[in-house]
Structure 1
Amino acid sequence: MKFVLPAALALLAAMPAAAQQAPAPAAAPQTPPKLLVVISVDQLSADLFAEYRGQFSQGFARLLSGAVFPSGYQSHAATETCPGHSTILSGVRPARTGIIANDWTDFSAPREDKTVYCAEDESVPGSTSSNYTVSDKHLKVPTLGEWMKLADPGSRVVSVAGKDRAAVMMGGHKVDELWWWGGKGFVSYAGRVEPAMVTRVNASVTERIAEAQEPMELTPFCRARSRAVPVTPTFSVGDGRFARAAGDVKAFRTSPEFDEAILALGAGLATDMKLGQGPHTDLLILGASATDYVGHGLGTEGSEMCLQLQALDQTIGKLFAVLDRTGIDYAVALTADHGGHDLPERNRDHAAPTAARVDPALSAKALGAEIATKLQIAGPTLVGSTAGDVYFAPKLTKVQRAAVQAEAIRRYSAHPQVQAVLTRAQIAATSAPKGPPETWTLLERARQSYDPARSGDLVVALKPRVTPIASPGAGYVATHGSFWDYDRRVPILFWRKGMTGFEQPLSVETVDIAPTLAALIGVKVPVPIDGRCLDLDSGAGSTCK
């Protein structure tokens, strides 16, 4: 597959391969960089990164020459997109960002739909959690971009992502340009003036989607991973090559084409706005979302993910080449909002016989109905899904709530697919964790995803390798969100021209990224945070002074 968007992507597509390599070594920089580039690759688990790092030759290869932390942690329990992105540039975990999940239940919401999406304004008349107005109102803390603007109002912040929640949670409350994929093109808050680059990219994307896409060519490494795995009697994944019919927007989104459009828009805005070329330090935030769509829809271990990551490596390399041409001094941080777990059907073929899909009887609706029948309570008793936050129905009396809680705990605890069921009181009483995040208890992990105004009355943890998708289908065969390290561990990489690289295999956290970058540019952290500065000097010196 060769994906070239005329004009808008010329900045990326025209760069020769040789220009994508890391610049020649230089003396260690003595002054702060003029541009920070933060890239989040949605669903890039540490396991996936380890599997493919030997195949990278372009963008990831450059990052691997810098400071490499292969065992970064999204250390909380609710390892979903919105909570994960809220940690990356805030320095705090979801318990303090307020972003406990992609959505939660708020029985006081001013509408019939009581589900609240993490990046919406539910007070907008006529809105629902699936048809919403994007907002940053639920993010309770400032982000790195806001710290920078507080220290220097001339600093500019640009946030571009494939998902609104990624752009909003990393960009924060004060952005100069904020754009995300709206289904047919890149969009922003109502009333924002559309820059010429956004107009050009949208026109080019529309033109590209209108064309059919031939299958990508399999490299030998990807060919070895190409095998059809039946998911249902009529549906299989694992041997796809991203062939796409003309006009298929969904297939465009679930392909390497999507990430190239996202990074091209970011590169284009950075070039047009001359980010890093003025007297102030600027911030460019990029949320590459295609890996997540591929992981959910096609799994993590087939030809599709292989082609996706190899293409992303080249796209990131082209982004760096564009920035190199400007001659600016820039620093890069790359991480992910969460990890991911492959589909159980293929896991079982790959020596993981305990991998399974969740029992439909564990859904809050099904289990709540059984409880209602036993306790002779009319109507629903539990609200939620099959794992994570579960809420008691608001109509229950105090006595009924106690009876429902006891029965729910009994039933969840007795189920062979449930590791633990934690109560609101247990979680709230848990102290802040100490020590490396891989050693935290389930309660400590849950505490870092807990907000008393938004979290459930119970939190259900499924056992390892139990996928919370009872009935898979096209576009949704695998997922993430668990307490377990395959969803919590992500790579964290830093690079800057002239730095001496090193690798630290011990665990760090994504909340460490913001203070690390702040120290690099001499910006004081203005609020209490959970993270710490990571020293990027490989010797006796320190970048955290």
Structure 2
Amino acid sequence: MRLRLSTLALATGLATAAMASPALAQDAAPEAQATPQLIVAISVDQFSSDLFAQYRQRFSKGFTRLLDGVVFPSGYQSHAATETCPGHSTLLTGVHPARTGIPANGWMDPALARADKEIYCVEDERDPRSSSDKPVVSPVHLKAPTLGDLMKKRDPRTINAAVSVKDRAAVMMSGHDTDAVYWFGEEGYTTFLDRKVSKSVAAYNAQIASKVAAGAAEMPVPGDCARRDHATPIGDFTIGTYKFPFKAGDYKAFSESPRGDLATADMAVRLVDELGMGKDAVTDLLSVSFSSTDKVGHAFGTEGVEMCIQMNTLDTALGTLFDALDARGIDYEVVLSADHGGFDAPERQQLRGNPHAGRVDPSLTAAALEAEVARRTGVTVPSGHLFYGAGESGSVWLAPDLAGKNKQTVVASLLDVLRANPQIEAAFSHDEIMAEPMPEGAPQDWTDLQKVRASYVPGRSGEVQMLTRRGIVPGKAKPFKVASHGSPWDYDRRVPMLFWREGIQGFEQPDPVETVDIAPTLAATVALFAPAGTWDGRCLDIDATEADSCSS
């Protein structure tokens, strides 16, 4: 018989009493076996609280289980840099991007020998085999330990595994000390360059190859999605009617459609079986990041038939995973959240009562800003560029040969230009950001500067940070790229946080919480106690009885 969380809280307290030092504890007490056999940490890429609220009553498969658990509808990726890599870096480290060292999906290093000057967030750019087109994937830039890292430090028998379509999602959730990490490559699932794909994964890749070789017709439209099946014009193309057919041999179209989530669920089950996860008294950790909501959101926005098909498919994928774990008799605990939210195509927003939605002005590109600053200041540098970035990135990196008084002049002029632009909400210099203490308190009340501080990493973040106004979407619209995220607004920051374990007494708590609260909450679940200062977040009491799941 599986134990309820009230019993788990008792076991947690007993385990704490047995500790002889503040170091991470060993599970010495028999009562500590109340911990689950497996933690399943799920991220749904670009799954905003808005999408969750819109579809929660329509879910009928995997989500129904989670909705019977503990629901925090107002979780926050509290920082300003609401992108995939920094968002995933918070989920299982329990700290903001300012401490994970991941300020964005990529950052500029003007001194880098490569022509593009950009470093990918999960790239080891020091490896001579790494390039912009084919980075050598590595967790080298992640500065904080993940929960999986800490669990393996406590007991090396812990299995720490991760899977996603995206490499940066799998790497950021699993961390440094891993047993298996997979993401979707050019022809199926792949892993780190110095590791081999397992026999089971190779066999699954063969199955995928067969599916891709055959191609596929349009995906069916669930009944409740029919009302969303109509076109919205954007320039010379439309969105709102696509059903995800793909031509034979097109791996990208396969993985970037809702089918990518189905494949991720299948891969997660394969990892459980192949690695023997959840088979003994040592709790294992499986991280699963479903990427298709993000792929669909970028390509078609959030309000068309495309996203409706995706939400239905995601629900199916979750059901596949949970049913498989049930069939194996594993005692598991689930948390589901997201790396960030997202915004619909502004052209459709304008047709639906939001006249302020729009696309970023070309005057905010690096080239345009540089030309204006050069005209105002007369400053030039040997490299030919005063700065890099701006536009979509929101960050501006100064040229390495810009120094002294010229640097101060350029920064001051750039801030003047940005703050005068009607699309800019705020702009800050490095000195202004670093003078701000790390934010505390309710995340919905943070100022723009506090949001920026929480994701600012000196030496990686740009020396100037620019925030666009609500509803302004970066990038030009083109087919399969119409919407985005990355803003400091709640549609990008606010995400759901759901916890479930068999026997849990479910409840809903609307008070704002943070994604950095997930790691300390799960750590209490597995009776892992870390020294003060390990987390930026706090343990959430997910036991609705008089017991406290965070008691120590």
Q: TM-score, normalised by structure 1?
A: 0.93
Q: Which residue of 2 aligns with 1:80?
A: 83
Decide which of 335, 338, 347 is 1:336's aligned counterpart.
Answer: 338
Q: Which residue of 2 aligns with 1:475?
A: 480
Decide which of 100, 115, 120 is 2:118's aligned counterpart.
Answer: 115
One-letter amino acid of the structure 2 residue matched with residue 116 of structure 1: I
Relative to structure 1, the CA distance from residue 128 to residue 196 in structure 2 (aligned partners, 3 Å threshold; closer, same or farther) is closer
How far 1:251 moved relative to its partner? 1.8
Q: Secondary structure at the match of 2:95?
A: coil
Q: Which residue of 2 aligns with 1:60?
A: 63
One-letter amino acid of the structure 1 residue matched with residue 401 of structure 2: K
Mapped pair 1:372 → 2:374 = yes
Relative to structure 1, the CA distance from residue 460 to residue 27 in structure 2 (aligned partners, 3 Å threshold; closer, same or farther) is closer
Decide which of 80, 105, 110 is 2:108's aligned counterpart.
Answer: 105
One-letter amino acid of the structure 1 residue matched with residue 416 of structure 2: R
How far 1:107 moved relative to its partner? 2.8
Q: Which residue of 1 aligns with 2:351?
A: 349
How far 1:255 moved relative to its partner? 1.4
Q: Within 2, Cα distance between the matches of 1:468 and 1:409?
A: 19
One-letter amino acid of the structure 2 residue matched with residue 143 of structure 1: T
Moved more, 402-411 or 292-301: 402-411
Mapped pair 1:450 → 2:456 = yes
Q: Within 2, Cα distance between the matches of 1:449 and 1:27?
A: 34
One-letter amino acid of the structure 2 residue matched with residue 194 of structure 1: V
Decide which of 492, 514, 521 is 1:487's aligned counterpart.
Answer: 492
Confirm or deny: 8 A CA contact 2:261 2:313 kept in the other structure. no
| Number of residue pairs aligned between Structure 1 and Structure 2 | 521
Q: Which residue of 1 aligns with 2:506?
A: 501
Q: Which residue of 1 aligns with 2:423?
A: 417
Mapped pair 1:154 → 2:160 = no
Moved more, 101-110 or 334-343: 101-110
Q: Which residue of 2 aligns with 1:185?
A: 188
One-letter amino acid of the structure 1 residue matched with residue 511 of structure 2: L
Q: Secondary structure at the match of 1:540?
A: coil
Q: Within 2, Cα distance between the matches of 1:43 and 1:29?
A: 35
Q: Within 2, Cα distance between the matches of 1:51 and 1:221?
A: 12
Decide which of 282, 299, 302 is 1:300's aligned counterpart.
Answer: 302
How far 1:24 moved relative to its partner? 12
Q: Which residue of 2 aligns with 1:271?
A: 273
Q: Within 1, Cα distance between the matches of 2:361 and 2:62?
A: 41
Q: Which residue of 2 aligns with 1:290?
A: 292
How far 1:396 moved relative to its partner? 1.9
Relative to structure 1, the CA distance from residue 121 to residue 393 in structure 2 (aligned partners, 3 Å threshold; closer, same or farther) is same
Q: Which residue of 2 aligns with 1:244?
A: 246
Decide which of 504, 529, 532 is 2:538's aligned counterpart.
Answer: 532
How far 1:314 moved relative to its partner? 1.2
Q: Which residue of 1 aligns with 2:136?
A: 133
Moved more, 366-375 or 82-91: 366-375
Confirm or deny: 8 A CA contact 2:2 2:331 kept in the other structure. no
Q: Which residue of 2 aligns with 1:10?
A: none
How far 1:195 moved relative to its partner? 1.7
Mapped pair 1:224 → 2:223 = no
Q: Which residue of 1 aligns with 2:127?
A: 124
Q: Secondary structure at the match of 1:210?
A: helix
Q: Within 2, Cα distance between the matches of 1:215 and 1:28?
A: 47
Mapped pair 1:201 → 2:192 = no
How far 1:374 moved relative to its partner? 3.2
Confirm or deny: 8 A CA contact 1:201 1:261 kept in the other structure. no
Confirm or deny: 8 A CA contact 2:37 2:283 kept in the other structure. yes
**Root mean square deviation, CA, Å:** 1.7
Relative to structure 1, the CA distance from residue 369 to residue 27 in structure 2 (aligned partners, 3 Å threshold; closer, same or farther) is closer
One-letter amino acid of the structure 2 residue matched with residue 198 of structure 1: V
Q: Which residue of 1 aligns with 2:364?
A: 362
Q: Which residue of 2 aligns with 1:9?
A: none
Q: Secondary structure at the match of 2:247?
A: coil
Q: Secondary structure at the match of 1:116?
A: strand
Confirm or deny: 8 A CA contact 1:26 1:497 kept in the other structure. yes
Confirm or deny: 8 A CA contact 1:29 1:499 kept in the other structure. no
Q: Within 2, Cα distance between the matches of 1:382 and 1:179?
A: 36
Q: Within 1, Cα distance between the matches of 2:343 and 2:234?
A: 15
Moved more, 500-509 or 431-440: 431-440
How far 1:66 moved relative to its partner? 0.3
Q: Which residue of 2 aligns with 1:14?
A: none
Decide which of 433, 442, 457 is 2:439's aligned counterpart.
Answer: 433
Q: Secondary structure at the match of 1:334?
A: strand
Q: Within 1, Cα distance between the matches of 2:431 and 2:133?
A: 31
Q: Within 1, Cα distance between the matches of 2:149 and 2:526?
A: 14
Q: Within 2, Cα distance between the matches of 1:129 and 1:97?
A: 23
One-letter amino acid of the structure 2 residue matched with residue 467 of structure 1: V
Q: Which residue of 2 aligns with 1:314?
A: 316
Q: Secondary structure at the match of 2:228?
A: coil
Relative to structure 1, the CA distance from residue 275 to residue 24 in structure 2 (aligned partners, 3 Å threshold; closer, same or farther) is closer
Q: Which residue of 2 aligns with 1:402?
A: 408
How far 1:143 moved relative to its partner? 0.4
Q: Within 2, Cα distance between the matches of 1:482 and 1:48?
A: 17
Q: Within 2, Cα distance between the matches of 1:321 and 1:52?
A: 21
How far 1:85 moved relative to its partner? 0.4
Confirm or deny: 8 A CA contact 2:91 2:173 kept in the other structure. yes
Which ranges in structure 1 are unaligned for 5 or more consecutive residues? 1-22
How far 1:47 moved relative to its partner? 0.4
Q: Secondary structure at the match of 2:162?
A: strand
How far 1:373 moved relative to its partner? 3.0
Q: Within 1, Cα distance between the matches of 2:42 and 2:319?
A: 12
Q: TM-score, normalised by structure 2?
A: 0.92
Q: Which residue of 1 aligns with 2:11?
A: none
Decide which of 508, 515, 530 is 2:520's aligned counterpart.
Answer: 515
Q: Which residue of 1 aligns with 2:389?
A: 384
Q: Within 1, Cα distance between the matches of 2:458 and 2:95?
A: 17
Which ranges in structure 2 are unaligned for 5 or more consecutive residues? 9-33
Relative to structure 1, the CA distance from residue 174 to residue 298 in structure 2 (aligned partners, 3 Å threshold; closer, same or farther) is same
Q: Secondary structure at the match of 1:286?
A: strand
Q: Within 2, Cα distance between the matches of 1:150 and 1:223?
A: 51
How far 1:131 moved relative to its partner? 2.5
Q: Within 2, Cα distance between the matches of 1:91 and 1:26?
A: 25
Confirm or deny: 8 A CA contact 2:160 2:174 kept in the other structure. yes
